[in-house]
Amino acid sequence: MPPVPSFSHLPHAAQLDLLERLTRSTLTKHYGLDGAAVRMEVQQYEDNAVWRVTPPGRSSFVARLSVRDGRPAHQQRSEMRWLESLAASRTVAVPKPVTTTGGQYVVSVEVPGHDEPSTLALLHWLPGTAEPPYRRPGVAEQMGRTTASLHEHAATLPEFDRPVWDAETILLKGHALTDRAAREQLGTEGTAALRKVTELITPALHEEALKDRGRIHGDLHRENMIALPDGVGIGLIDFDDCGTGHYMLDIATVLSSIRRIAWKQPGSYEQFARDFLVGYTKVRPLPVDSGRLLEPYLLLRDVFVLNFVTTAAPVNADVALWGPARIAGIVANMQAYVEGDPYPGTLAFA
C-alpha cells in the first residue's frame, strides 16, 4: 500500500479539496446533514478552512475546519459557550453554534498525512453584508455600540479558557520575534524596528486597569463585522482569536482596519473614529487613558498581524499572495514610528 502523501506537500487546491470531502463526511456522520447534497462555498482558507454550507431548502451554516495552529478543542468549546451566551442575550448578533447529534460543540477530524490535530465546528450563518459601509451616516456609531456591547457582555462572565493577548504573548513570545524563519521574512532592518517597538511600547501596555481587561474578540477588523439586513445594526463573526485582553486591542483593531482603506480621503478616518468612539461611550465608558493607550495598541495590533502572516505565508498559498506586502507596509510604519512619527491611526482627540 503506497504511503499517504504529506498534507503539507499537497498543492493548495488539493488540500482544500481533501478538506471539503472530509467536512462533507463529518456533516453526515455527526450533524445529521446530507453532506453529499449540501452546497459548500469557500469563504477562506488560512489557518482554518471555512465554508458557507447550505442544505437543500434550508438556511445556511458556517463550517470551520481548523487544520493549522488551531486552538485546542477545549478552547474552541469555550469560544462556542461564549457565542451561545451572546446569542441568548440578544445584545450582539453572532453566529450561534450548532451541536452534533451527540451534543458536542467540536468534532475531531483525521486529515490523512497531517500531523496536527484538526477539528470541525458548525455554526448558523449570520445573514448580512461583511465590511459595513463605514461612511454611511450612523454606521460608524453602530459599530462602536456593538463593540462596546460585546465588552459589556464579556465583563459579566467568569470562566474563559482562551489565550491571553498581552504584551508578553504578542510581543515577547510572538512568532515574529522568536522564530528564525519569521525574522528572515521581516529582514534585518524590520526585525530591528520590531525589537525597538517592543522596547518602546511594553511599559505602556503594562499600565492597565483591571476593569479594562476581559473577554475580547481578538481580531475585530472590518471584515469580521456584518451589516445586518434592513440596516438593523452590526453583527460580529469569526471569534477564532477570541481571548482575554485589554479592550483597547479590539478598539485599535477596528480603527486600524478602517484607517487602511480610508486614508486616501482626507478626514474620512478621523470622522469615522469620532463617531465610532461616540457610539462606544453610549454603551460603556472608554478604557482609562484610552487616548494615550491607542497608539501602543495600534502597534500591538500590527505585531499580532505580523505573527500571523509570518506563520501562515510559508504554508498557505493565499496568505503568501498578500503577506509580503503587508509585512513591508507594517515594517515601514514601524521604522517611521521609531524615528519619531506618530503611528498611523493615532488620534489627537482620543
Q: For residues 140 and 280, give the distance between their C-alpha atoms in angstroms, rounded to a whole number.
A: 10
Contact residues for 281 (Cβ-Cβ < 8 A; gap 6+): 144, 148
Q: How many angstroms separate the most distant Cα atoms in the chain?
A: 67
pLDDT of 1 reads 53
Q: Are 143 and 132 in contact (CB under 8 A)?
A: yes
Q: For residues 318 and 46, give the distance between their C-alpha atoms in angstroms, rounded to a whole number.
A: 7
Q: What are 140's three cell numbers? A: 460608524
Contact residues for 199 (Cβ-Cβ < 8 A; gap 6+): none
Query: Torsions phi, psi of 217, nearest 5?
Result: -65, -45
pLDDT of 51 reads 98
Mean pLDDT by 10 residues, the chain (350 residues): 78 94 98 97 92 97 88 90 93 96 95 91 96 95 97 77 93 95 96 97 85 94 95 93 96 98 93 98 96 96 97 90 96 98 86
pLDDT of 2 reads 61
Q: For residues 258 and 249, give the distance between their C-alpha atoms in angstroms, rounded to a whole number.
A: 14
User: Could you tell me the CA-to-CA distances from 349 to 91, 241, 273, 289, 292 in Å, in that order?
Assistant: 29, 29, 10, 12, 10
Q: Are 249 and 165 in contact (CB under 8 A)?
A: yes
Domains present along the chain, CATH in parentheses: 7-125 (3.30.200.20), 130-338 (3.90.1200.10)
